Structure 1
Amino acid sequence: MTLHPLIVLGLVMLISYPASLKAQSAVPSETVLPYLNADELRPSERAHGLGLEPRQIGITRRVNRSPALDEWTSTGNLPLRTWRHRVVAPGAVGLSLFFDRFQLPPGATLTIGEPEKTDLYGPYTAEDATEASHATPIVWNDTLVVEVRVPADASETVTLRIRDVVHAFDRLRSVTGAKSGACNIDVACSEADPYRDQVRSVATYTYIENSGQFVCTGALVNNSAYDARPFFLTAEHCISTPNTAVTAVFYWNYENSTCRTPGSTESGNESDDSRQEETSSGAIMRARAGNVHSLGTIFDGPDLVLLELDDPADLSTFGVYYSGWDASGDPPQQAVSIHHPRGDAKRISFDLDPLQRTAYFGSTEDASGTHWKVGAWDLGTTEVGSSGSPLFGENKRIVGVLSGGDAACAAEGGADDNNEPDWYGALAAGFDETSFGHMTFREWLDPLGTGTLTLDGEYLDQIPVELISLTATGGTNAVTVEWETASETQITGFRIVLTGDAPSHRHTSEIITARGAPNARASYRHTISNLAPGPYHVRLAEITVDGAEKTIGTTQATVGMTERVALTLPSPHPIRSHGRVYLTVRSAQSVQVDLFDVLGRRVARLHDGPIARLRPLSIELDASELGAGTYLLRAHGERGSATQRVVILP
């Protein structure tokens, strides 16, 4: 058995290592934390209501532990060195780790799991870092072991630090038995049959914020390029900052395989067949619309956030679906929510009546309101932990995400809900907004600029090409894509699409002629040059004989730069009132961006602060109060500078 059975997938499942290999590992070093009583840590939960909060299941405990404090050991006769570290937290129901430093050399792997068990999460590699950090799934034990294996000559290049041990005091699967209310409906029930595809887009996820670990719900969404780019729509009151997004761990296909009768004792308890093995870690915030990040309230904002999952592989490994969406603002005539109440296995709820557009917790219909109001659920309900879950209209497209409400089961063990309302942040209300970054929800979800307000969902893995491998290597102003197929049927060629962080960072290759055949291997290599520096999402598509284009694989690459600091000309240019420039740095540093007139006087400071490595920063240039003429735009950083001559028109 090899050590890397899943690395090419970029996603994480439970894997098994031979016991003979584990036996070669040395006795690990230890971090032992003081005992904490799980019952005393559990906060009192408000069932539902105006102050709806994500469900808290754990707390963080700062340890700042790294391999630098210990000795690396040899691994039998293998050319590897190993660091094993045991974490013990008496009283914990489960443990997970957050690495705020996560840099591994080529060939290095990291796994975590229970002591003396061969089923482990991993292997994680350098590709699993999100902004140089990494969060792990929960191991349901008060002890876990983390193991790092590196090539024998590379241990000195490892940069790892466990910043936090996350001490879970409750499970996604309950220790006390009772979980989501008995009136909930399992997605395995026949009522969910028309929504089988949409069910596969929904996931529960954990995240770290303010020394706590919380759980919410969200869904994968499609975009107009149909490129399998893993956009994930959820609520801002769950994840409101980019620092929180990198701590997210997503649990896919976490559901019961059988239908438990609503109202039964079984429906109010967790069954043993709920799966928690299929996970992915880390996300990057792309767009945000709401007031939670700035004012700490859901009111007067649609409570939306769009994430991009940071695993560089195709989520089709887990059979996921990319749901469609509807930002038209047309009132749905009925609605369905798919969610994880209290972080429990996936459930489904139905409202068979038309929805109202209102303010959050409002009762007056308002066409410009921020939320969709579900008056009362006809089947099922929602609970704490359902936050961020998608609301589908009658066309099976997402129209909003759950912000809050009063809905719940009517009584312990009852089959009915309490006939109280819920409010979902309307996608239509935030579609052309963002309070983060420089691109709106519309720009991310409609990258082709089609102007559509509705988009259907799709599986993006049903293709006639059997792909063996796909890699993308970034160089200086170029990306080289290599792929190998095992079989090709009814296709004429391939196309590569690169999409970066800036609107102008989109490049499409010409059609690359197919030369494979059924059950015959073929290899390809293609380079796209003249690229701006920064990270790129790389999509490989097949072109079928009928002209259809289908995504067959995705990965990521980062394009380097020769300059230390790069500054684009404003767009548009010359400027009349407003323009936008992009600033990129070769290494992370603080940069000041100033605008000077022809006499050398500074007339505006546009930026003063840190910039991440190879991440284009969007800067708005407001020229509405400036006179016509020629100006000098200058970026001055700790390690370099750049200038552009700017013309402002009257």
Structure 2
Amino acid sequence: MKYPVLFSISTLLLIGSLSVLPVYAADITQVDGLEQADLPPNEAAAAWEVPATLRLDPTDFPKHAGRGALVPQDIVLPPLSAAELQQWQQTADEPQQRRTRIGMSRAVPNTLGEPDTWQWLAVEGGQVAHLGWRSPDAKRIRGQFVLGNLPAGVELRFYAPHDPQQVYAYTHDTLKPQIIQQAGEATFWSPSLAGDTLRVEIFVPEGIAPDALALRVAKLSHSVLDPLTGAVQRGTLEDNAVACFVDMACATPEWQLRGSSTALFLVVNEDIEYFCTGELLNNTRADGKPYFLTANHCVDTAAVATTLNSFWFYENSSCGGSDARDKVRRADGGATLLVTDKTLDTTLLSLNKIPAQGVLFAGWSNRALPSGQAIAGIHHALTLPKQFALGTFVDYGTFAASGLVRDPQGEFAVVRWLNGATEQGASGSALWFEEQGKYYVNGVLSRGTSSSSCEPPDGIALYGRFDQAYPLLKPWLSP
């Protein structure tokens, strides 16, 4: 699927002068990247990752059947209608934006009954119930839970029936960063799981009765695309074309290291699920705080930030390889919104979880770029592993009634691709440049055009300017 060209390089070059002036020349800061292995042990160990297991393995259900236990009965929604499927082939309002719409929320009937009527089974220290919801043909699924009451000691463990070893466990305290108030109710979104069925194991400790719980699922997010497997629901996004991509594993080792700061992430925004790209940034204290840079049109409110699930190291080990899916590490738990700006299409988050090993906290620079500066992009796009692009910074620009015009004080950096390209899913990825053997982030991908030819690529991209966003980001990145 090719998207309409929003602007052209020739038009941009004919308007205004070529000069580019630093916006904040009196406050130029450049921070080098930081490898996670170089963090002090106590800060590195705080990254995340406490493996969880189910208290009652689903494979043991048949053993309990003779004692009256039942295999969980999933609440099953009807398949998506023809009209709902057709929605996925319609062009978005701003097709040049590089976020990708992959999921839609569906209302769930509340047919579970009261908690004391659920099928409870005794386990060590208490009892558990397994509940499930299914949206047929979904490639990924997650649920919006309404939390009326979750007493201390109660635990929720989310899993997919095809992979019960991959478990995401929460208590009321660990859910707090993800709980938001909507229409007077406390809600949170579960982790996103592959497949069309979401299950939860609810553990109630001894001394707490099930009727002390108040919990239900209001919505399911039905994803028609799984960016980590390439699975696409028939009749939805099948016509999306792959542009002139370059696998990250085909870049130099120096650039591949920088890719360790880049993650794909999923969020729910006004009942639509999107995937975008973001960048883990270092700060002047080099203390390992998980500051994450992305686009405003991907995450623009605190509520959206709470729904974030990030996926790291989705990249091949070698050029031409195909092991990316075996390397993926994920971090659920959402994020905290620190600052966002629509004009510059820039958002800074603090992630609640990151992988415990292997990530890079990217370096950054708030200086203005000279015309002709060689640049690079590292990003996720469509259903491919991490991608790489090389290009040239053309000029700064802003939008006027006549379209994009050259403006040294404009809010966007305009890039022309020479090798590789960006496509849907790359929104929020970083603009990079290299200087004297060091590598710096200098912008956030906002939008662009697809290449109409791959010899050479003729796509262009607009990045929100890091130097103009810096006064907003400074309290965290340069405290």
For the pair 1:148 / 2:209, whether they are aligned, the reply is no
Whichever of the two has the greater Rg, that structure is 1
Question: Secondary structure in 1 aligned to 2:103?
Answer: strand
Alignment of 1:121-520 (within 5 A): 121-126=167-172, 127-132=174-179, 133-154=187-208, 155=210, 158-172=213-227, 173-175=229-231, 181=242, 183-189=244-250, 191-260=251-320, 273=325, 275-290=327-342, 301-311=343-353, 315-331=354-370, 333-342=373-382, 344-351=384-391, 353-360=392-399, 364-374=405-415, 376-395=416-435, 396-408=439-451, 410=453, 416=455, 418-432=457-471, 440-447=472-479
Query: TM-score normalised to the size of structure 2?
Result: 0.75
Aligned partners of 2:331 and 2:355 also within 8 Å: no
CA distance in 2, matches of 1:416, 1:153: 70
1:91 is matched with: 137
Q: CA 1:428/1:347 → structure 2, altered by over 3 Å: closer, same or farther?
A: same
1:325 to partner: Cα distance: 1.5
Q: Which amino acid is 2:397 matched to?
A: T
Which one of the candidate residues 59, 80, 86 is aligned to 2:126? 80
Query: What is the rounded CA distance, in whole Å, between the counterparts of 2:452 and 2:93 in structure 1?
Result: 11
Q: Which structure ranks higher in relative contact order (CA pairs < 8 Å, sequence separation ≥ 6)?
A: 2
Report if aligned partners of 1:399, 1:428 keep a CA contact under 8 Å in 2.
Answer: yes
Aligned partners of 2:106 and 2:222 also within 8 Å: yes
Q: Is the 8 A contact 1:184 1:380 kept in 2?
A: yes
Higher helix share: 2
Given residue 192 of structure 2, which amino acid in structure 1 is its aligned partner? I
Q: Give, in whole Å, the separation in 2 of the partners of 1:124 and 1:8.
A: 17
Gaps of 5+ in 2: 1-44, 180-186, 233-237
Q: Distance in 2 between matches of 1:445 and 1:67?
A: 47
TM-score, normalization by structure 1? 0.56
Query: What is the Cα-based RMSD across aligned positions, in Å?
Result: 3.4
The percent of aligned pairs where both chains have the same amino acid is 26
State the shift of 1:145 in Å: 1.6
- The Cα of 1:28 is off from its aligned counterpart by 2.5
SS of structure 2 residue aligned to 1:119: strand
Deviation of residue 68 (structure 1)? 7.0
Q: Which amino acid aligns with 2:422?
A: T
Does the 8 A contact of 1:360 with 1:423 survive in 2? no
- 1:135–1:248: 8 Å Cα contact kept in structure 2? no
Q: What's the offset of the Cα at 1:157? A: 5.3
Residue 422 of structure 1 aligns to which amino acid in structure 2?
A
AA aligned opposite 2:432: F
How many Å apart are 1:137 and its aligned residue? 3.4
Distance in 1 of aligned mates of 2:264 and 2:90: 19
Query: 1:474-523, CA deviations, whole angstroms, 9 ceiling, x for partnerless residues?
Result: xxxxxxxxxxxxxxxxxxxxxxxxxxxxxxxxxxxxxxxxxxxxxxxxxx
Deviation at 1:73? Answer: 5.0
1:331-384 CA distances to partner (integer Å, 9 max, x unpaired)? Answer: 372111111112532111111x3442222596644221101110x212110001
1:416 and 1:231 mapped to 2: Cα distance? 37
Measured against aligned partners, the alpha-carbon deviations of 1:362-412 in whole angstroms (never above 9, x if no partner) come to: 6644221101110x21211000111111111224211111111113363xx
CA distance in 1, matches of 2:395, 2:111: 53
How far does residue 109 in structure 1 lie from its aligned partner after superposition?
A: 3.1
Counterparts in 2 of 1:443 and 1:19: CA distance versus 1, 3 Å: closer
* Structure 1 residue 15 displacement after superposition: 6.0
Change over 3 Å in CA distance of 1:372–1:206 after alignment to 2: same
User: For 1:234 and 1:343, how far apart are their aligned partners in 2?
Assistant: 19
Q: Which is worse superposed, 239-248 or 359-368?
A: 359-368
Matches within 5 A, 1:58-73: 58-63=103-108, 69-70=114-115, 71=117, 73=119
Q: Deviations over 1:225-265 (max 9, x none)?
A: 2221111110011111212111121111122333239xxxx
Letter in 2 for 1:57: I
Aligned length: 406
SS at match of 2:194: coil
Cα separation, partners in 2 of 1:391 and 1:107, compared to 1, 3 Å: same
- CA displacement at 1:111 relative to structure 2: 2.3
